[in-house]
Copies of this chain bind each other. A is one copy, B any other.
Amino acid sequence: MQFVTGKKEEKTVLLSEIISGNYTHKSVVLRGFVHTVRDMSEFSFLVIRTFEGIIQCVTSTEVTKDVVASLKEGMTVEVQGEVHEELRAPNGYEIILTRLLILSEPAKDSTMPLPISKWKLNTSLEAKLSLRPIALRNIRERAIFKIQEGIVRGFRDFLFSEHFTEVRTPKIVAGNAEGGANVFKLEYFGKKAFLAQSPQFYKQTMVGVYDRVFEAAPVFRAEKHNTTRHLNEYTSLDFEMGYIDSFEDIMNMETAMLTFIFELLSKDYKKECEILGINLPKTDKIPAVRFDEAKQLVSEKYDRKIKNPFDLEPEEEVLIGRYFKEEYDSDFVFVTHYPSKKRPFYAMDDPSDKRFTLSFDLLFKGMEITTGGQRIHNYEEQVAKMKDRGMNIEDFEHYLMIHKHGMPPHGGLGIGLERLTMRLLEEANVRETSLFPRDVSRLEP
């Protein structure tokens, strides 16, 4: 009988360990992709790519120029050799080769369809997306999704430290929380089902169980419009918290969370921030302005007529962002008290003026990245608001169960992960910040 007892000792070392100087003048084994081969006439450089970056290897009497010349981009290899400091090499170290082993090869007649070893892929977004599996191997491209990993880690780690519980709610649902037509329909064993537009009902439900909950998971919106800021499938970072005093508690929590995330990025994702040239924004003091005031301020400063006092156009969002950058040097601004008509049925109206809600959006460099607010927790109040809107109470039996049997005052928010990443990187198209974007015309790869 054979037994599996756990991880074996790794034979290979990490690139980061070499760069930190732990292996200088020592022999190391490393595995990675053939990134480039450069003929320097007397010798050649073989540059190897691992998940941590690239390292230069130098040919020798043991591993000759001829051997390295026969290598091809896309092969994976195991190399062995002695580490030396070399200031002119990428990352300051190089390996003098003593052994080289080919681990795998690309297809016989293949040529790399994109110049992935270049610093920046100077190809169209369309080409990058069609060749996504390969394009992502580019060091700059892949850094984008390490940043995204960091954002989600920060989101979770911060909320765990604030006593939130992580939940997993269903994506196949019987009804849709956000209303509207942008919902994907599904055949479910002869019944009609939908893909969840948000975990709204379920995260509220779970507040009744754990007081504070969060989820980072896919949501689905059947938006028919091809815009630079919409995806049909994206990651929603949701949290929901009970026992709040007001919806401002949620804005406070988000502000502290963003601060935590950006600190984590500056620490654990420093390399990727440098690769992408990210300037991490300040979050110590985020202005909060009422919806109607924001419209007024922007209208006055930029001489723009208010067309609809109950709606915010994308151009107005951009101008509000600009206003608070110019006046308060802030990349972020909370816009509060959205009109009731523009918010879902579960939003709590402002008792002092029922035309508005105790809700907010967070704009980041002029784009909405978060929607949040306080929810109605009282059963009679929720039922009345639904009836006012002509909704059928019976359709929401399972949701209203939580109000019926008691809910604490609560509220929460949803953050679009890809949009947050997009604004942080100042990308022009949200597709740049989704690994495999889904839009009206794109279902592959």
Report A's interface with B, CB cutoff 8 A: 1-8, 12, 14, 31-33, 50-51, 73-76, 103-108, 110, 112-113, 131-134, 136-137, 142, 145-146, 148-149, 152-153, 160, 162-163, 165-174, 184-189, 191, 193, 195, 202, 205-206, 208-212, 217-218, 220, 222, 224, 232-233, 235, 242-243, 248-249, 251-253, 255-256, 259, 283-289, 328, 334, 377-380, 398-399, 401-409, 417, 435-436, 438, 440-441, 443-445
Query: What 17 additional pairs, Cβ within 8 angstroms, besides A7-B162, A170-B436?
Result: A1-B287, A3-B286, A4-B285, A4-B286, A6-B256, A7-B256, A108-B380, A112-B405, A133-B401, A134-B401, A134-B405, A145-B165, A172-B220, A172-B438, A193-B443, A205-B445, A217-B218
Chain B residue numbers with a CB within 8 Å of A243 are 12, 31, 76, 103
Instruction: Give bound CA distance, A107 to B136, whole Å.
Output: 53
Chain B residue numbers with a CB within 8 Å of A436 are 169-170, 202
Query: In the complex, are the beta carbons of A209 and B3 less than 8 A apart?
Result: no
Instruction: Give bound CA distance, A14 to B220, whole Å.
Output: 36
Instruction: Give bound CA distance, A148 to B165, whole Å.
Output: 11
A54 → chain B, closest Cβ, in Å? Answer: 13
A326 → chain B, closest Cβ, in Å? Answer: 13
Partner of A110, one of B5, B287, B404, B417: B404
Query: In the complex, are the beta carbons of A104 and B3 less than 8 A apart?
Result: no
A212 → chain B, closest Cβ, in Å? Answer: 7
Partner of A435, one of B132, B168, B185, B212: B168
A345 → chain B, closest Cβ, in Å? Answer: 17
Query: In the complex, are the beta carbons of B1 and A172 less than 8 A apart?
Result: no
Closest to A437 in B: B170
Chain B residue numbers with a CB within 8 Å of A142 are 209-210
Query: In the complex, are the beta carbons of B445 and A401 less than 8 A apart?
Result: yes
Instruction: Give bound CA distance, A235 to B215, whole Å.
Output: 13
Instruction: Give bound CA distance, A1 to B328, whole Å.
Output: 10
Closest to A402 in B: B133
Chain B residue numbers with a CB within 8 Å of A167 are 145, 149, 435
A185 → chain B, closest Cβ, in Å? Answer: 6
Query: In the complex, are the beta carbons of A6 and B252 less than 8 A apart?
Result: yes
Chain B residue numbers with a CB within 8 Å of A5 are 252, 255, 284-286
Chain B residue numbers with a CB within 8 Å of A32 are 211
Instruction: Give bound CA distance, A181 to B136, whole Å.
Output: 31
A236 → chain B, closest Cβ, in Å? Answer: 11
